[in-house]
Amino acid sequence: MNSGIYGAISGNMAMMKQLDVLANNLANVNTPGFKRDNICFKAVLAASAQQGTEGAADTPSLATESYSIDFTAGQVKVTDNTFDIALDGDGFFAVNTPQGKAYTRQGNFKIDANSKLVTADGYEVLGAGSPIIINGGSVSFDEKGKISVEGQETGSIDVVDFPKPYALRKIGSALFMPNSSDATPQPAKNTLVKQGYLEGSNVNTLEEMVRMIETTRSSETCQKMIQNYDQMTGKAVNDLGKV
């Protein structure tokens, strides 16, 4: 295959993957606690990627991608809802999921039919490693995460953190799990719990839209290059057939 068309195809595939990431970010612009994804590409030679470095100079290039998560905090807004909780600082809430213990910054909690504090998807929010039970009409969370019901302290909400850079992966619903089973969370330091506040997504709509326009234009350029190479190849074949 012509090395030029190979590079154009590789570039177009890369742009399609980037568009998928950008579209997912934009789809979650209003999801509380959502963390945007990044994708980076690295150009390598096909021979060096598949067979070693020998012969790489005669082989077309291709793009390999790597993904990362932007863990910067989203904008915190006042809601005045009793069970909306935001974190001012580093760290995560701990929750029980069918896949095991997971972590999130999404603090739009609620009380289920069993008086347990749960996430919007119904996963148990943990305090001291156990589900939090709340029975009472007047509930407050102080800045340290201590929970008071009808003026009596009944427990606290877990706020934990991991070493940076975070080695966490997404499992959906703004939830994260450590990449390694050996990762042990520690109590978050200097992080305040804010009741009646909610952390939003850290997606900047304008920036993502600009990136999407740029990526779409790059994809269109690659498609035109592929068409041009295809026309050149067809013309060469037809002309050779006349010789």
Percent helix, strand and coil across the chain, each rounded to 5?
Answer: 30, 35, 35
> Beta 76-78 vs 197-199: how paired, if at all?
antiparallel
Task: Give yes or no: residues 87 and 178 share one domain.
Answer: yes
Task: Give yes or no: residues 94 and 185 share one domain.
Answer: yes
Residue 125 identity (one-letter amino acid) = V
Are the CB atoms for 69 and 166 separated by under 8 Å? yes
**What is the reported pTM?**
0.82
What pLDDT, on the 0 to 100 scale, is given for residue 243?
52
Between residues 65 and 163, which one has the greater pLDDT? 163
CA distance 143 to 48: 54
Task: Give yes or no: residues 194 and 80 share one domain.
Answer: yes
CA distance 195 to 108: 10
Task: Give yes or no: residues 194 and 121 share one domain.
Answer: yes
Report residue 81: phi and psi, to 5°.
Answer: -80, 135
The mean per-residue pLDDT over the stretch 3-8 comes to: 65
Q: What is the pLDDT of residues 83-110, one digit of tens each?
A: 999 999 999 999 999 999 999 999 999 9
Domain count, the chain: 2
Residue 56 has pLDDT above 50, yes or no: no
Of the candidate ranges 47-51, 123-127, 177-181, the one whose mean pLDDT is the lowest: 47-51
Task: Give yes or no: residues 124 and 189 share one domain.
Answer: yes
